[in-house]
Structure 1
Amino acid sequence: MKESRFDSVLTIEINILEPEKVLNIISKEGIFIKNVKRLNIALLSLDVYEEDYKDIKKIVKANRGKIKIVKERGRNILIRRLKRRSSLLVGSVLFGLIIFILSTHIWSIDIKTTENLSPYEVREILSKLGVKQGMKKNALDVYSLEKKLEDSSSEIVWARSRIEGSTLKIDIEEKVNPPKLLEKEVDSVIATMDGEVKRIYTESGTAVVEPGNMVKKGDILIEPYNGSEGTKYECIASGKVMANTFYDKEVDIRISGKELKRTGESFKEKYITFFGRRIYLKKYTNSFKEYDKIEDNTGLIKGVEYFEKELKEVKLERDEEVLKASKKLEKLLLKDLTNEAKVVGKDIDVTDLGYGMIRVKVQFVVLQDIAL
């Protein structure tokens, strides 16, 4: 038995009902132990060589005991710790180096235009100028780029470019063409949509519809003249025509059976892109059988968040869910309407789709101004 084996010594604790039995077995196996201490009736403390630990662990487990390492010492253990720390240090340095290299490149291009010129057209111009994702920052002169953009299209009045982080931001100001003059200054007020006329407020001109009339989109509501037969004169027609208009919205709802729902558990993986390849900082292990996922492609560090889903029993009150669906559809409708518009009526129709599913269809009657 070489004394150099003490370079790797472990202090272990063994929790077992028959400590003497285990010590006898260890001795019979020829395993060297020292500093044996009895901490209580079922707990032993002793020092062993690291290379003998696995054999002792098998003996303890075979006799239904528990074992744990409370202390490690020795030259070999110190060397391993230093190797682990050096690996961590090298990994940190490499990661920092990769981040630094990535930070010297442009990885996204953010383009803002106004009306006539689309971001896609500007991106095509940039591509022809050699400006693209992945290029080095120091290879780009933003002031020269602004001049080239202004010269590349007659639609661009001026351009501003700047680099923020790893994003190249381009702001384009376009040429504003003067509005076309109307062929004639006067015109009629027409209906913007189908509806049933309820009230008419004429500021100028003559109304040609009455409350109760059904009108179609494009029908004339107010003509551009004032006065009576023989004394008519042209004017600019204006006014409001309040009418009942109609909107249909529907939604499918499960009221019984089973449905995939989120459990509340989630996992977010993070990665960076390096020349078109993903380098993961945190990788999803695909532990969810069913899931939703939301991708975040903004910024240098991108990510995908996974939300676990599982089949859950659904048992809901039909009438209550129909009422909830009606209110939800009404809220969605009001978001698309003006503040003056009001829902004055609704007709709810429910269709049984089978397998615990129903379809709630609501026709809304909306009072609003349809004059244009």
Structure 2
Amino acid sequence: MKQPSLYKLRGAVRIKVTGGDIETLINMITEQRLSVWDLRAQDGRQAEMSILLPHFFRLRPIVKGTGCRVKITHRSGFPFFAARLLRRKFFVLGMVFFMAALFALSSMVWNVDVKGNVRIPTDEVLAAAKKEGIYPFQWSFRMGSQDKLSRQLALALPDVTWVGVTKEGTSVTIQVVESAQPKREPLLSPRHLISKSDAVVTRIYAEQGRPVVQKDMRVKKGQVLISGILGDEENTKTIVAKGEVRGMVWREYDIQVPLLQKHQTMTGESKERFYVVLGDWAIQLWGYGNTPFKSYDTETYHKPLTWRSFNLPMGWMTEKDMETSFHQEEQTVTWAKTKGLEGARNDILAKNGKGTKILSEKILHEKKENGKVYMKVLFEVEESIAEELPLVHSQGE
């Protein structure tokens, strides 16, 4: 016979039938349309079957009429589970208390975040929000509508164009859009633009001031490129020199690269620790003991509990220590030269800013010694060579 639907909810028992006329018993069960399944008979002397709990009570007169004996071997389903719960009153009360506490905690505001503010201090926004009833440990149902809160905060905060209040789970986010302020140009003192290194000028553009050098001219470190003094000897005026001067300079690098390289890899072995998280507290459940690895990396996974769209202030966390090992590999001289030159190029570009170009490179000296490759390299670089030099009023050019 087929297993009835929802038998777990209605309850079922597994019975063992012995003695009497078992064949007649089975026929009468069929005639009475009792729901039984998983029937197993053995030589007509005994049988096992599963039967719905309500139909089990209808089985008694049939058993008496056939002279069989029935023994219950297993009980399953919701009625038996409910009966066990009722015998454990403290457990039921604890479960009810836990669900009530869970509902209460999910109905509170646990965190208030402020985003988008640059000039307005976060503390000022939080203080205004607290006056409107937005603060940690506030009941969610006591807060006003989000549109009303947004309007009230926009009126309470100066220099804002718009304020948005959104609630997601137990967190409230206050999004601030500050009003645009006119850009204040910094007050600059009169200055020259001078060369910061020996170079050959490749480009000069004077936005403000008087250029005193030309393209292809060789300049020394500290030499004036764009003067901040205008006029003649009798009538002079000092201004803020502005512009761009690029030049070709030479950079000499001493490079050394070890041929024996170390690499870190994962062995596949790991150790885990499992925690229950309650607010800012983490209670470890298993994974005690020291990590048995000499070298390892640790990854942390945090999963908060959610209810619908709410993030509850509880969950679980797993820390996983993954064993690592180091391997050494002997590299070739060609590989070392390539890596050394690449590192020097990256250093030049990082130190000299946007627009820097490496025009050429020349290895002046190269040797292999003590497991390392040594090189002296000369780079020809085009970069910005101008830097500021404040002017003193009594200074002449």
- TM-score norm. by structure 1 comes to 0.50
State the secondary structure of the residue aligned to 1:117.
coil
Residue 178, structure 1, aligned to residue 182, structure 2: yes
Equivalent residue number for residue 327 of structure 1: 342
CA shift at 1:168, angstroms? 1.8
- Structure 2: unaligned runs, 5 residues or longer: 1-13, 17-41, 43-70, 86-91, 305-310, 388-397
- Contact 1:195-1:246 within 8 A present in 2 as well: no
1:198 maps to a residue whose letter is: V
- Structure 1: unaligned runs, 5 residues or longer: 1-5, 9-34, 36-73
Q: Structure 1, residues 135-162: CA drift from partner, whole Å, max 9, x if none?
A: 4432333445445544555454542221
Matched ranges for 1:184-333 at <5 A: 188=191, 190=193, 194-199=196-201, 200-204=203-207, 205-208=209-212, 211-215=218-222, 221-224=225-228, 237-243=241-247, 244=249, 255=260, 261-264=265-268, 273-278=277-282, 289=293, 290-295=295-300, 300=311, 303=317, 306-317=320-331, 319=333, 320=335, 323-324=338-339, 327=342, 330-331=345-346
- Contact 1:197-1:212 within 8 A present in 2 as well: yes
Task: Work out the CA distance in 1 between the residues paired with 2:196 and 2:120.
Answer: 34
Task: Work out the CA distance in 1 between the residues paired with 2:167 and 2:298.
Answer: 31
Q: Structure 1, residues 261-304: CA drift from partner, whole Å, max 9, x if none?
A: 43356688787744433478x97677763532244669746755
- Contact 1:150-1:157 within 8 A present in 2 as well: yes
Task: Work out the CA distance in 1 between the residues paired with 2:148 and 2:265.
Answer: 54
Task: Work out the CA distance in 1 between the residues paired with 2:115 and 2:77.
Answer: 55
CA shift at 1:308, angstroms? 0.6
Aligned length: 291
Task: Work out the CA distance in 1 between the residues paired with 2:102 and 2:377.
Answer: 54
Equivalent residue number for residue 159 of structure 1: 163
Q: Structure 1, residues 113-136: CA drift from partner, whole Å, max 9, x if none?
A: 343235465456656766444544
Task: Work out the CA distance in 2 between the residues paired with 1:77 and 1:360.
Answer: 83
Task: Work out the CA distance in 1 between the residues paired with 2:259 and 2:127.
Answer: 47
Task: Work out the CA distance in 1 between the residues paired with 2:138 and 2:353.
Answer: 47
Task: Work out the CA distance in 2 between the residues paired with 1:115 and 1:252.
Answer: 45
1:221–1:294 Cα change, 3 Å:
farther
Percent identical among aligned pairs is 18
Q: In angstroms, what is the RMSD of aligned CA positions? A: 6.1
Task: Work out the CA distance in 1 between the residues paired with 2:343 and 2:384.
Answer: 24
Q: Which of 137, 142, 150 is residue 140 of structure 2 equivalent to?
A: 137
State the secondary structure of the residue aligned to 2:119.
coil
Residue 168, structure 1, aligned to residue 172, structure 2: yes
- Contact 1:255-1:317 within 8 A present in 2 as well: yes
Identify the structure with bigger relative contact order (alpha carbons < 8 Å, sequence gap 6+). 2
Residue 112, structure 1, aligned to residue 115, structure 2: yes
- TM-score norm. by structure 2 comes to 0.48
Equivalent residue number for residue 48 of structure 2: none
Task: Work out the CA distance in 1 between the residues paired with 2:254 and 2:303.
Answer: 34
1:340 maps to a residue whose letter is: G
Task: Work out the CA distance in 2 between the residues paired with 1:159 and 1:307.
Answer: 44
Higher gyration radius (CA): 2
1:336–1:148 Cα change, 3 Å:
farther
Task: Work out the CA distance in 2 between the residues paired with 1:181 and 1:238.
Answer: 14
Equivalent residue number for residue 367 of structure 1: 382
Task: Work out the CA distance in 2 between the residues paired with 1:109 and 1:251.
Answer: 53
- Contact 1:159-1:170 within 8 A present in 2 as well: yes
